[in-house]
Amino acid sequence: MALNDQARGSSLLSAGKLDVAIAASLAAAIFLWLFALPLADPADLDDLGLVSILPAQYWTALVLVISAFAASLHPLSRVALLRPASLVALVILLHATPAIVYGTLRYSWAWKHIGIVDYIQRHGTVDPTAPFLAAYHNWSGFFRFFALFADWFNLGPLQVADLARFFSVISSLIFIVLLKFIFRSFTDDRRLQWAAVWIFLCANWVGQDYFSPQAFAYIFYLAVLALCLGPLMPQGSRSHSGVGRMLREFRVMFTSYTSHQRQVQPVLRILATLAVFASIMIIVASHQLTPLLLICSLAALSVMTPLSIGYPVLAGLGVAFWIVYPAAPFTAMHLPAEVASLGDTLEGVTGKLVNTAKVSSEVAIVTWSGRILSALVGLMAVLGWLRRLRAGYRDGVVCALLAAPFPVMLVTSYGGEAIFRIYLFCLPFLAFFAACLFFVSRNSGRGTAVSVVFAVTSMFLTAGFLLANNGKDRQYRFSGQEVAAAYWVYAQAGPGTLLVEGARSYPSQFSNYENFTYLPIANERPEEVAKILADPAAVLSRWFREPNWKDGYVIVTRSQRAYVEALGKMPEGALDELVTALAQTPDFQLVFSNDEAVVYRASRFLP
């Protein structure tokens, strides 16, 4: 008896020491991260992106966080808070780093989203018939919410942008909470739940968590799944029909789903139902694609579980209502073309993939990092699923949710962009099966070796994330000087202005965006680009002589140069030669200049 007490005391002592070591590692990691931030100079970014400027202190901090989380999964770790604390630390290192180091909002589409918020603030509403960015005006839930937020705090577009650079941090923290609830419905093994959330964060490289309607809608999508898998899931099928019996037999064959072990209070069920209804309408009002993916996921749940078919029907009715009524102007204008291009997603996949043979070796490394990371997670998921199957688990619900997004590829005209969205919606369930590779059951993965292998795998995943997610930051990161140049243009020009841009990759359209017609040279056909570069002053002068323009500017920035050179859109130095040509002709006058941007105005519009 005394020997057992002694052994128990030794085990508790070891557990206490391990938890102290984990907590110390996390504290040291945050300290090193804070020390590393001032050492990273965004001016030194190359075509490998963020990783090219991260100092050794950052990488040490990342290793410490990974090691701490892997150790927290060991049976000797008894402090439950260490796992979510490690996840929060990971989010800070992966997402807060670029936001702080760059000091400005990255990615040009995020600035466009701020432009719609600015429009609503100035006009009090949207314009469903707007000729430019029309989809945003017809699916405006996200923008209306943040316009209201900005009005509450009296924020202008630059202040909104300053806050929006941390949006991926906030959204990732929310993902942690919602995914934990979802994974709790699949397993009662907390190690597996937390490991699946961890892998999701490491593999979520496609960049759909930035300040955007997609990220906003995705939060509510996960919330709907969490509620439907949790408090809204019936205890069992009450149907006595032939179809009901067949479904019960089907579910017994393919799933061992046991979501509810305890009764749900009626008040909680009512509140959950109202929350699902509100979430569905927010999704429907904010994004075009997410409602379709939600319908597919809820339909899959209705087949694989006793969840009422009313939920996917409700989502479908919400989509139909929005298309027919609030988005009617957009529907009338674009529906024929949308129907004609159904299925273009499959044909457009290759169009969204970078041709690595035409870009620099660094850009090719970044491109392949995303592909390899996705393939690695997919391989881990397959192996994890096989382990679960061999161990006797029937994860039909997880498999159904994993497969649910793919039909969208056949019924949308999103083109190749949809492949990245589908990866995002599959990722929670890929991450769950990938985590099963390490923790297939409560009694597996309890040795030190598993923790070490998990940590090493996580290091590869996070390295892949940093390359794939931040590898294009030389073109997606914008300096304060570029922001100042763009803001000057948008503050000066009135309606009917032609704005010629070297490329779209700069902080654009975030203020008074409807005053302009935009012409990015890099988006022209290659033969047209060649003609422009052959004699830019003459070609651009001809454009601005069109009688319908009331004003006209040309803006060229550092990030535009980085974009066209990295992707081979123009020869190296082409935009510099264009600027030189404009400086040598009286048809244009330099009206704004700093170290990273120049703005020329067509002389015919000068007072």
Please give the Cα distance from 228 to 171 (Å, whole number). Answer: 21
Give the count of domains, the chain: 1
* SS3 of residue 263 by DSSP: coil
Q: Are 257 and 331 in contact (CB under 8 A)?
A: no
Is the predicted pLDDT of residue 254 greater than 90, yes or no?
A: no
pLDDT in tens, 417-451: 678 889 999 999 999 999 999 999 888 777 888 99
Q: Is the pTM of this model over 0.75?
A: yes
519 Cβ contact partners less than 8 Å away, ≥ 6 residues apart: 498, 499, 500, 501, 543
Is the predicted pLDDT of residue 184 greater than 70, yes or no?
A: yes
pLDDT in tens, 530-543: 999 999 999 999 99
Residue 516 within any structural domain of the chain: yes
Is the predicted pLDDT of residue 88 greater than 90, yes or no?
A: yes
pLDDT (mean) for 557-579: 91
241 Cβ contact partners less than 8 Å away, ≥ 6 residues apart: none
Place 364 in a pLDDT band, splitting at 50, 70 and 90.
confident
- Six-digit token pair at 365? 């490394």
% of the chain surpassing 90 pLDDT: 70
Minimum mean pLDDT range among 119-128, 255-264, 395-404, 570-579:
255-264
pLDDT in tens, 5-45: 444 444 544 768 899 999 999 999 999 999 999 999 999 99
For residues 483-513, one letter each, b for 16 or more C-beta atoms within 10 angstroms of the residue's C-beta and e for the rest, the string is: bebbbbbbebbeeebbbbbbbbbbbbbbbbb
pLDDT (mean) for 172-196: 95
How crowded is residue 23: how many other Cβ atoms within 10 Å of its Cβ? 17
User: Going by DSSP bridges, is the β-strand pair 551-557/497-501 parallel, antiparallel, or unpaired?
Assistant: parallel
Residue 236 within any structural domain of the chain: no
Q: How far is CA 526 from CA 350, 529, 531, 571, in A?
A: 19, 5, 9, 11
- Six-digit token pair at 367? 């491109």
Output the pLDDT for position 419: 82
Q: Which one, of 481, 437, 432, lies nearest residue 595 by Cα? A: 481
Q: Are 563 and 522 in contact (CB under 8 A)?
A: yes
Residue 192 within any structural domain of the chain: no
Q: Which one, of 355, 359, 385, lies nearest residue 371 by Cα? A: 355
- Six-digit token pair at 129? 């018939």
pLDDT (mean) for 395-409: 90
- Six-digit token pair at 172? 């990732």
Residue 89 within any structural domain of the chain: no
Q: Are 508 and 487 in contact (CB under 8 A)?
A: no
The whole domain housing 564 covers 478-605
pLDDT in tens, 43-86: 999 999 999 999 999 999 999 999 999 999 998 888 889 999 99
Report helix, strand and coil shares of the chain as percent, to nearest 5.
65, 5, 25
pLDDT (mean) for 272-294: 95
Place 361 in a pLDDT band, splitting at 50, 70 and 90.
confident
Place 394 in a pLDDT band, splitting at 50, 70 and 90.
confident
Please give the Cα distance from 23 to 18 (Å, whole number). Answer: 9
